[in-house]
Amino acid sequence: MDIGSEMSYRSLNKYSEVLCGDRVELLRAKDFDVAILSDGMGSGVKANILATLTSKILYTMFANNASIELGVETIARTLPICQVRKIAYSTFSILQIYHNGDAYLAEFDNPDCIFIRDGKILDIPYSYREIEGKRIREYRFKAEQRDLFVLMSDGVEYAGVGELLNFGWTRESLAEYTLKCSKETLSSPRIAAKLSQACDELYNHRPGDDTTVAVIHVVGRKPVNVFTGPPEHKEDDAAVMKDFTESSGMHIVCGGTTAAIAARYLEKTITNNDDGTQDIPPTSNIEGVDLVTEGVLTLNGALTILKDLGGEQPAFELFYRLDENNGAAKLAKAIYEECTDLNLFVGKAHNVANDQLLFDVTVRRNLVEQLKEAAEALGKRVSIQYY
C-alpha cells in the first residue's frame, strides 16, 4: 500500500484576542505524515506560547526520526501542571500515518478524534497509558484510503454556548456535519473551512474560546503531470512527450506550441472550447490529455489562485474560484485538490510566438519556480525536469 494524506486546519481566535491559543503543526516525512494539535491553557499570548512550545517540541522530535512513543512520553513528562487549576498547561492530539497504512493516534485532554470510513462514523479501539500522572489515550490501527479524521480543540465543543445553543455544539453534531461534508466529496481544506465557519456562526462570530479543527484525509498517491514550453532542441520533442505520457496520473499541457507538440506526437487533432474569460484564454482538447490550456496567462492565473489559497487561513469564498469554468481555475484545482505529487516537464526553448509578452526562457523558468514554491507550500511533492 502506498498512501498519503491531505492535511489542513483552521483556527478561530477567542474574541478580542490577537493570538490564538491553539497551535497546529503538519509534518510530511519520507515515510509518514504527522498532524499535531495543541491547546494552551487559557487564551492570548500565554496560551499561544504554551501551545507553540508543545507542538514545536513534538514536531522537532518527529522531524529528527524520534519515535512517536518517545515524543508522547517526553512531552507528557515535561509538560508542567498548573498548581492552581491542577491541569496541564497544554493539551495535545497527535496523528501519525505511515505510507504503508500503519497509524497511531495519541490524545491528551482534547476531544476525541472523529473518524469516518466508508460513509460511516466509527469508533477506533483505544487504550490508556499513564505517564507522570497524565492519562494518554492511544490508538493503533490500519488506515485505509479515503479515511477521514478530524482533530479538534475543546473550543469546538463550546461553540454556541450562551449564544445559539444551551450546551454547545457536541462532538456528535460535529461528526454528523463532517460526514455530510465528506459525502459532498469536498477536499480536506474545504471541509476544515466549512467546520470552522459553522463554529464561527454558532459563536455568533464572537468565539468564546480558541477553536481549531485539523482535517486529515487519507488518499492514494495522485500525480499531476504538467508539460509546458517546447524543448530547447526540436529533436527532443519525442523524448519529453515519452517521459510525460508514460508518467502515471493526470496529464496537463500548457501553451499553444506545447499543445502542437503533444498533438503531433499523439497523432490527434486539437479542438477548442468556449470557456475563455476576459483575462484567461479558452482551453482546448487533445484526446489522451486531461487538460489543455494556453501558456503564460493561464499559468500566471493559476499561480495567483494557489498563492491566495496558500495563505494561513484563506477566506472560504476563495474556494469558489477553483470551481470557475476557465483554464486557470481548472489548472489550479487539479494542483490544489487532485494532486499529491506535481511533476513539471519544462521546455527551455525561446518561444518566438510570444515575443510581445517577453515570455523568454528566463520568464518561463521564473514562473515555473514560483509554481513549484506555491505547490510545496500547499504540501505537494514537486519535481521539475528541464528539456
Q: How far is CA 216 from the centre of its chain?
A: 8
Class of domain 3-220: alpha beta
Provide the pLDDT for residue 283: 97
pLDDT digits (tens, 9 = 90+) for 227-272: 999 998 889 999 999 999 999 999 999 999 999 999 999 999 999 9
Count CB atoms within 10 A of the CB of residue 286.
Answer: 20
Neighbour order of strands in the sheet with 211-220: 3-12, 211-220, 148-152, 114-117, 120-122
- The residue that leads in pLDDT, 359 or 68, is 68
Measured CA to CA, the distance from residue 64 to residue 75 in angstroms comes to 15
Band of the pLDDT at 73, cuts 50, 70, 90? confident
Band of the pLDDT at 76, cuts 50, 70, 90? confident
Query: Exposure of 41 by Cβ count < 10 A (0-12 exposed, 13-18 middle, 19+ buried)?
Result: middle
Among 141-145, 162-166, 252-256, 311-315, the minimum mean pLDDT is found in 162-166
Q: Is the confidence at residue 86, as pLDDT, over 90?
A: no
Q: Which of 98, 221, 204, 96 is nearest to 151 (CA)?
A: 96
Provide the pLDDT for residue 379: 84
Q: Are strands 148-152 and 211-220 parallel, antiparallel or unpaired?
A: antiparallel
Residue 156 neighbours by CB under 8 Å, 6+ apart: 111, 169, 171, 174, 195, 199, 211, 212, 213
Task: With H, G, I as helix, E, B as strand and everything else as coil, classify residue 243.
Answer: helix
Q: Is the confidence at residue 87, as pLDDT, over 80?
A: no
Q: Which of 56, 2, 70, 69 is nearest to 26 (CA)?
A: 56
Provide the pLDDT for residue 81: 66
Residue 18 neighbours by CB under 8 Å, 6+ apart: 44
Task: With H, G, I as helix, E, B as strand and everything else as coil, classify residue 231.
Answer: coil
Q: For CATH 3.60.40.10, list the domain ranges present in the chain.
A: 3-220
Provide the pLDDT for residue 359: 47
Mean of pLDDT over the chain: 88
Asked whether 114 and 175 are in contact (CB, 8 A), the reply is: yes
Neighbour order of strands in the sheet with 127-131: 22-28, 32-40, 90-98, 102-108, 134-142, 127-131
pLDDT digits (tens, 9 = 90+) for 149-164: 999 999 998 887 655 4
Task: With H, G, I as helix, E, B as strand and everything else as coil, classify residue 256.
Answer: helix
Provide the pLDDT for residue 356: 45
Among 63-72, 137-146, 218-227, the minimum mean pLDDT is found in 63-72
